[in-house]
Amino acid sequence: SQQGEEDPQALSIQEGENATMNCSYKTSINNLQWYRQNSGRGLVHLILIRSNEREKHSGRLRVTLDTSKKSSSLLITASRAADTASYFCAISSQGGSEKLVFGKGTKLTVNP
């Protein structure tokens, strides 16, 4: 299976703390993407990192990619209660058609 696998499955932190979620995969990739899903809602794209990139930032988000270890991490700094959601990594092995393979997700709870 080429799917991404996140860990931990669940993470509970206090507001203001940093949250780190990891994703591992098995195949070569074109890019890796992180999505967020609030309960019962659709997926919202957060950040995309290409296979030739090692780190990317967007606001309070920092994503790293290590293609030698086939792993990525998503760091959310200074977390807020509104960051409570499930976070999924998704890998794209092909350019063009975005058949994404999603992991099972990390359920993040940020306590006020």
Partner 1 sequence: EPEVTQTPSHQVTQMGQEVILRCVPISNHLYFYWYRQILGQKVEFLVSFYNNEISEKSEIFDDQFSVERPDGSNFTLKIRSTKLEDSAMYFCASNSVGSPLHFGNGTRLTVT
Q: Would you tell me which residues interact with partner 1 (CB under 8 A)?
A: 3, 33, 35, 40-45, 48, 88, 90, 95-105
Q: How far is the CB of 16 from partner 1 (least distance, A)?
A: 29
Between 50 and 60, CB nearer to partner 1: 50
d(CA 22, CA 66): 11
Between 54 and 99, CB nearer to partner 1: 99
By the 8 A CB rule, do 89 and 6 touch?
A: yes
Q: How far is the CB of 112 from partner 1 (least distance, A)?
A: 26
By the 8 A CB rule, do 17 and 60 touch?
A: no
By the 8 A CB rule, do 25 and 33 touch?
A: no
Q: How far is the CB of 3 from partner 1 (least distance, A)?
A: 7
* Cβ neighbours of 78 (radius 10 Å): 11
Between 79 and 88, CB nearer to partner 1: 88
d(CA 34, CA 29): 14
Q: How far is the CB of 40 from partner 1 (least distance, A)?
A: 8
